[in-house]
Amino acid sequence: MELDPELLSRVQFAFVVSFHILFPAFTIGLASFIAVLETLWGITRQDLYIELSEFWTKIFAVSFGMGVVSGIVMTYQFGTNWSRFTDAAAPIIGPLLGYEVLTAFFLEATFLGILLFGRGRVPARLHILASYMVAFGTLLSAFWILSANSWMQTPAGYELRGGVFHPSDWWAAVFNPSFPFRFVHMVFACYLSTAFAVVGASAWHLRRGSFPAHSRKAYAMGLGLIAVLAPLQLLVGDLHGLNTLEHQPAKVAAMEGHWETQQGAPLLLFGIPDQQAEKNRLQLAVPYLGSLILTHELQGEVRGLKDWPPEQRPPVAIVFYAFRIMVGLGLLMIFIGLAGLWLRWRGRLYDTPWFLRLCTWCVPIGFVALLAGWFVTEVGRQPWTVYGELHRSDSVSPSLAGGHVLTSLLIYIGVYTVIFGTGIYYLLRIGRQGPRVGALPAGKASARRPLSGADVALDEGDVP
Amino acid sequence: MNLDLPLIWALIILLAVFMYVLLDGFDLGVGILFPTARNDGERDLMMNSVAPIWDGNETWLVLGGGGLLAAFPLAYAIIMPALYFPVLLMLIALIFRGVAFEFRFKATPSHRRIWDLSFTFGSVVATFSQGLVLGGFLQGFEVDGRDFAGGPFDWLSLFSVFVGAGLVCGYALLGATWLIIKTEGELQERFYRLARPLLFVVLGFIVLVSAWTPLYYPFIAERWFSWPNLLYLSPVPILTAALAALLLRALARRREIQPFVLSLGLFLLGYLGLGISLWPYAAPPSVTIWDAASTPSSLSFMLVGVLILLPIILFYTGYSYFVFRGKVRSGEGYH
């Protein structure tokens, strides 16, 4: 069997980027959470905030480390596996990534050092400032990388000359048509994913009765954020979808599972798309609702996949299912947000067992929804690397043989399984161990902590 | 005004790569020297001497790589597929080494050994593969049109393996002199004693690589050995010898800061020497920086950012080094 370097390079990229994105998503959310906790400490001088901040900073540091090492892999893949894409698109993608390094990476890395090791070495205000710089860095990083990704989805501000994308309008390239929607959608997704992790960990401690004061605080903060952001995310997602309909209608057709162009299109709740037969099996649909959502008219026309030649259609089933997973989890998030509000109003927020259990189980839902969303948008834009302009087969490095890519892919799979499996295991252990309470001199930021303090408890295996 | 943007960008990327070699050089060196620690306490000290800053140091690698991608995409598109396996090896090694900083302090004592080894081997292999990359780069690339046209193991030669071994010793020297600054007592004394033989080995590698590269390309021999270049370039080897002598003296007199600064000086001269040999090629022996440059609009768009942001980055990086100045002592660190 002939190994296809293009397909294997795509699998490899999908694999490393899917692993990678979980950690930045978590650290984008956590950095802002930590900055809020540090600020609250600065205002109230209550130890509780600083202890919570240190607890989540430990988790942040492990996730950030994994995000950094898996992220360096990404840039180099552009060159090693996608050299033709690099040659063609680097005049635009390159500066966007360059600005990410210059504005975000140095800021995050340097101030993280001060955030982690600087308490007691720098004035308290500067330590709070460091937490802001880290949070600001993570958001700047998201800004540039989403601008680059969005440019590949909805390219703008360029002229194609001799197979190379020459920038003609930087403003149009950076703020390309899908960027604002994708940026807000992604930042909300990061905040929601983090909120569910914080709420879930706190709910777990509340059920066990460990660290009640700290857990209540983090739990209430997280649920408050979810109650606000989950419904807003639905709105932003809808706007993002309408933007996609305008610029990448084939992707929307795959998301909706529409094969035929029709007026008054239904909304498919479920179905089994069949790419060969060009239809769905076991379809469960609500009439007219598809047109209503997409065009805001009952009889609005919605384009079907048959409008495009088969080789320009994305793999429908992946996009179709991933979209339903994302939306389903989004609705569950809204339910949890509203249920949290209801319980808070009834004064039962902290002692409703079924809800605490539900929150514990929901730790991963933000991350699953986020990955599903990325599968929708990335698989849905196939077969293009730069949408409508550069085909993926014109992007791959011509010197690669399938066997080489298979080798590196297997190495990545092996290493990532071991390293990130261990990392997630440590994250869970730190989470179960909970914050260190009462170890800090009250109100003073001179906590030179003993190196082994936190680790001894871990080593003795006090966690189930 | 007519700026030679590719020239400016070549200098910026040379600066970024050099910053990387210096900064990550010494913290990789600490990893290479990790087995010299005799107990967990010493390992903690060694690791904590770089824990707050290694991440910022490694960011220069991202800037070097990202800058090359952005400013000289053609070079990036040729070099990266050609060095597919050394780059893969480096990335994997950096993963093992990077996570060790966090995992080591989170692990149970029995597992801590694993992350000690992961830190050591990650540092050695990452450095060695950077040497392979450098060796492969010096040997040059077979190019057809705008694509790399050679084989997947073109980089593998006695020369590139030799450069890899030389770089491991070089980073170990940087690491040892860094640890002289950061430690005291018996541990510090050990690095004083280690730095001396390391220096001789490194000098040996410098001499051999200097003799070997002109053999690869007549133009390099031409550049160094023709008159009057010989005269203009003679300060490079002379200064190298002078710095090495000063470094030996500083080590013998148990100076604390000087050995590190002088080792950095040695690296600077070696780097300058390679730069002189290979100028102006972005992917030797055929693609120059002007061939490989991105569009003028891309280069000037990014130049604005670099001119504003690089001084700010250098400022807060300097501040961070200032905050974490002085000896590392046990009981420090956030873990």
Three-state SS annotation for B234-282: CHHHHHHHHHHHHHHHHHHCCCCCHHHHHHHHHHHHHHHHHHHHHCCEE
Let me know: does A268 contact A282? Beta carbons within 8 Å.
no
Q: What is the pLDDT of residues A182-206, one digit of tens each?
A: 999 999 999 999 999 999 999 999 9
Only one residue has tokens 């569950």, namely A332
Please tell me which residue of chain A has the smallest CA distance to B110: A459
Give the model's pLDDT for residue B332: 63
Range name among A277-286, A409-418, B131-140 with the lowest pLDDT average: A277-286
User: Nearest CB to B74: which of A87, A93, A426?
Assistant: A87
Give the model's pLDDT for residue A354: 93
Give the model's pLDDT for residue A450: 34
Please say if the pLDDT value at position B333 is more than 80. no
Only one residue has tokens 């996949």, namely A305
Q: Which residues of B touch A401 (CB under 8 A)?
A: 152
- Mean per-residue pLDDT for B259-281? 89
Q: Are A79 and B332 within 8 A, CB to CB?
A: no
Task: Share the mean pLDDT of chain A.
Answer: 87
Give the model's pLDDT for residue A136: 94
Q: Does B105 touch chain A (CB under 8 A)?
A: yes
**Amino acid at the residue A251:** K
Range name among A128-132, B68-72, B319-323 with the lowest pLDDT average: B319-323
Q: How many helices (H) and strands (E) does chain B have?
A: 14, 4
Tokens representing A333 are 């998030």
Q: Does B313 touch chain A (CB under 8 A)?
A: yes
- Mean per-residue pLDDT for B262-286? 88
As a whole number of angstroms, the distance between CA A220 and CA A340 comes to 9
Positive or negative, the CA dihedral A221, A328, A17, B147 is negative
As a whole number of angstroms, the distance between CA A280 and CA A139 comes to 40
Give the model's pLDDT for residue B139: 87
Q: Give me the residues paired with residue A158 across strands.
A: A167
Residue B54 binned pLDDT confidence (cut-offs 50, 70, 90): confident
Q: What is the pLDDT of residues B9-37, one digit of tens each?
A: 999 999 988 988 888 899 899 999 999 98
Residue A18 binned pLDDT confidence (cut-offs 50, 70, 90): very high
Q: Which residues of B touch A70 (CB under 8 A)?
A: 95
As a whole number of angstroms, the distance between CA B186 and CA B189 comes to 5
State percent of chain B over pLDDT 90.
33
Q: Which chain B residues in 35-74 lie under 8 Å from chain A, judged by CB atoms? A: 44, 48, 51-53, 55-56, 58-59, 61-63, 65-67, 69-71, 73-74
User: Nearest CB to A95: which of B52, B70, B108?
Assistant: B70
Please tell me which residue of chain A has the smallest CA distance to B307: A102
Please tell me which residue of chain A has the smallest CA distance to B104: A455
Please say if the pLDDT value at position A461 is more than 50. no
As a whole number of angstroms, the distance between CA B44 and CA B41 comes to 5
User: Nearest CB to B91: which of A62, A73, A111?
Assistant: A73
Q: Which residues of A touch B76 (CB under 8 A)?
A: 78-79, 83, 86, 90
* Residue among A375, A155, A370, A369 nearest A255 (CA): A375
- Mean per-residue pLDDT for A63-75? 85
As a whole number of angstroms, the distance between CA B116 and CA A202 comes to 33
Q: Which residues of A touch B58 (CB under 8 A)?
A: 68, 72, 109
As a whole number of angstroms, the distance between CA A183 and CA A146 comes to 6
Q: What is the pLDDT of residues B288-304, one digit of tens each?
A: 899 888 888 889 999 99
Residue A78 binned pLDDT confidence (cut-offs 50, 70, 90): confident
Residue B246 binned pLDDT confidence (cut-offs 50, 70, 90): very high
Please say if the pLDDT value at position B334 is more than 80. no
As a whole number of angstroms, the distance between CA B228 and CA A150 comes to 54
As a whole number of angstroms, the distance between CA B126 and CA B270 comes to 20
Q: Does A62 touch chain B (CB under 8 A)?
A: yes
As a whole number of angstroms, the distance between CA B48 and CA A129 comes to 23
Q: Does A90 touch chain B (CB under 8 A)?
A: yes
Q: What is the pLDDT of residues B218-241, one digit of tens each?
A: 778 888 888 788 888 888 889 999
Give the model's pLDDT for residue A300: 84
Residue A456 binned pLDDT confidence (cut-offs 50, 70, 90): very low
Please tell me which residue of chain A has the smallest CA distance to B95: A69
- Mean per-residue pLDDT for B76-91? 89
Give the model's pLDDT for residue A443: 40
As a whole number of angstroms, the distance between CA B147 and CA B79 comes to 9
Only one residue has tokens 């919570």, namely A52
Please say if the pLDDT value at position A444 is more than 50. no
Give the model's pLDDT for residue A329: 95
Residue B335 binned pLDDT confidence (cut-offs 50, 70, 90): low
Question: A301-302 and A390-391: which strand pairing?
Answer: unpaired
Q: Which residues of A touch B67 (CB under 8 A)?
A: 98, 101
Q: Which chain A residues in 423-452 lie under 8 Å from chain B, judged by CB atoms? A: 423, 426, 429-430, 448-452
Q: Which residues of A touch B109 (CB under 8 A)?
A: 459
Q: Are B335 and A454 within 8 A, CB to CB?
A: yes
A149: Cβ contacts below 8 Å, ≥ 6 apart: A182
Please tell me which residue of chain B has the smallest CA distance to A423: B103
Q: Are A61 and B74 within 8 A, CB to CB?
A: no
Give the model's pLDDT for residue A448: 37
- Mean per-residue pLDDT for A147-156? 94
Let me know: does A188 contact A236? Beta carbons within 8 Å.
yes
Please tell me which residue of chain A has the smallest CA distance to B294: A91
Q: Are A109 and B58 within 8 A, CB to CB?
A: yes
* Residue among A52, A459, A22, A460 nearest B104 (CA): A459
For residue A300, the SS3 value is: coil
Residue B59 binned pLDDT confidence (cut-offs 50, 70, 90): confident
Q: Does B203 touch chain A (CB under 8 A)?
A: no
The residue ranking higher by pLDDT, B308 or B217, is B308
Q: What is the pLDDT of residues A313-346, one digit of tens each?
A: 898 889 999 999 999 999 999 999 999 999 989 8
Q: Which chain B residues in 139-198 lie under 8 Å from chain A, judged by CB atoms? A: 146-150, 152
CA B36 to chain centre: 22
Angle, vertex CA A399, rays to CA A394 and CA A403, nearest 5: 105
Let me know: does B114 contact B125? Beta carbons within 8 Å.
no
Q: Which residues of A touch B59 (CB under 8 A)?
A: 101, 105-106, 109
Q: How many helices (H) and strands (E) does chain A have?
A: 15, 8
Q: Which residues of B touch A103 (CB under 8 A)?
A: 305, 309
| Long-range Cβ pairs for the range B144-147 (8 Å, 24+) | B146/A87, B146/B74, B146/B77, B146/B78, B147/A83, B147/A84, B147/A397, B147/A398, B147/A399, B147/B77, B147/B78, B147/B81
Q: Are B323 and A118 within 8 A, CB to CB?
A: yes
Q: Which residues of B touch A462 (CB under 8 A)?
A: none
Q: Which residues of B touch A8 (CB under 8 A)?
A: none
Q: Does A112 touch chain B (CB under 8 A)?
A: yes
As a whole number of angstroms, the distance between CA B311 and CA A42 comes to 30
User: Nearest CB to B98: which of A54, A69, A113?
Assistant: A69
- Mean per-residue pLDDT for A136-146? 93
State percent of chain B over pLDDT 70.
98
User: Nearest CB to A116: which of B56, B70, B334?
Assistant: B334
Please say if the pLDDT value at position A374 is more than 60. yes
Q: Are B78 and A84 within 8 A, CB to CB?
A: no
Q: Are B77 and A79 within 8 A, CB to CB?
A: yes
Q: Are A58 and B61 within 8 A, CB to CB?
A: no
